[in-house]
Amino acid sequence: MNIMLNLRAVKGRAYPRIIGALREPSWVFWQTFLPILGMAAYVYVYRSLDAPKEFEGFVVLGGVMTTYWLNVLWGMASQLYWEKETANLQLYLAAPMSKMSILAGMALGGMFSTTVRGLSIILIGVFIFQVDFVVTNVLLLIAIFLVTLVALYGMGMLFASLFLMWGREAWHINILLEEPVYFLSGYSFPVKALGSVSAFASMIPFTLGLDAMRQLTFPSMAEWGLLLPEVELTILVAMGVFLIFCARAALNRMERLGRAKGTLTMRWQ
């Protein structure tokens, strides 16, 4: 594997994302301000039910991680479908770089706007909703956050491979995955409440990462934690490595299938 080539490819593909965000600042309204309204609605649901204050914090933290999940779904996984429709995909595939470099570039580039959104959510949580984050272990929190992102983006790359084969079906699967994943990952509630279903839900990196981060920022709600944060970190590391390997294999396999069936360059599938 040519490392310099792939690093340059990552840089090359990240560039349009960053420049696009700077040149068309209307994303701040569409992808930062407006989505926060949806998250705020869940905070008010808890207030209407007289829930403990920490539950509002769960929603805020869930909102932060959800922005990365949405970036995975829409900024990366389904992006290959969009690239196919705009005739860029064939140029990417005919180039010598790895497909994972392209996806990594998209993910890194998209992280700029995603992180702005995440930070906005935290600021609103703290200053508007008066959520009190009590961080018990900063290093562990950062480690879990970063490893969760790696695992999540690995999962995104796996989904992206589907788009090499399918067209609109994969796009609709993307739409379908939003809410069920919110539910299974405990986006706005502690996943332990799902009982035995939480074991299945733990297969999503988002679930364990969010659960661990909640335990480290709301220690008073530790009884709602699924597993110890350290254990969840270990599982996330294994998951991340596994997902990235699977993504690589799936991308190669799906590309080959796409080449055999002729769907790589087929538009409006």
Partner 1 sequence: MSVKYSMWLEYQIEANWTSPLVFVLYNTLKPVGGSLLLLAMYYVVTGGFLGSDALYYLYIGNAFYMLVSQTLFSVGWIIHDDREHYQTLKYVYISPMSYFVYLMGRSAMRFLLSILPLAVLIVIGIFLGVPYRIAPLLLVVTFIFGWIFIVSAGLLLCGINMLTARHGESVGQAFAGIFYLFSGVIFPLSVLPGWASKFSLWLPSTYWFSLVRRSVLGGEVDTIMGGFTTSEVAVILLAISVVFFVISYVAYRFADFLARKKGILDMSTTY
Partner 2 sequence: MDAITCKDLGRLFKSKGRAVEALKEVTISVKKGELFGLLGPNGAGKTTLIKILTTLLLPTSGNAYVHGYDVTKDEKKIRPIINMVSGGEYSGYGLLTVEENLWMFSQFYGMPGKEAHKRINELMDRLGIAHMAKRKVRTLSTGERQRVNIIRAFMTNPSVVFLDEPTLGLDVETARLIRKFIKEWIENDPSRTVLLTTHYMMEADELCDRIAIIDEGEIVALDTPVALKDMVKKEISLKIEVYPQIKVEWLNAVKGVIGVKSKEMGGNLGLRVIVADEAAVGDVLAGINERGGRIHYLYKEEPTLEDVFLKLTGRGLE
Q: Tokens 């961080």 map to which residue? A: 135
Query: How far is 173 from 9, CA to CA, in rounded Å?
Result: 28
**Cβ distance to partner 2 smaller for residue 62 or 109:** 109
Tokens of 235: 């599982």
Asked whether position 230 contacts partner 1 by CB under 8 A, the answer is no
Q: State which of positions 152-191 bind partner 1 (CB under 8 A).
A: 167-169, 172, 175-176, 178-183, 186-190
Q: Shortest gap between Cβ of 197 and partner 2 (angstroms)?
A: 39
Asked whether position 91 contacts partner 2 by CB under 8 A, the answer is yes
Report the residue from 95, 116, 181, 221 that binds partner 2 according to the rule CB under 8 A: 95
Asked whether position 222 contacts partner 1 by CB under 8 A, the answer is no
Query: How far is 153 from 71, CA to CA, in rounded Å?
Result: 9
DSSP letter for each residue of 197-252:
HHHHHTTSHHHHHHHHHHHHH-GGGGGG-SS-HHHHHHHHHHHHHHHHHHHHHHHH
| Partner from partner 2, partner 1, none binding residue 139, C-beta < 5-8 Å depending on class | none
In one-letter notation, the amino acid at residue 47 is R
Asked whether position 169 contacts partner 2 by CB under 8 A, the answer is no
Q: Which residues bind partner 2 (CB under 8 A)?
A: 2, 4-5, 8-9, 11-13, 15-16, 19-20, 23-24, 86-88, 90-97, 102, 256, 259-260, 262, 264-265
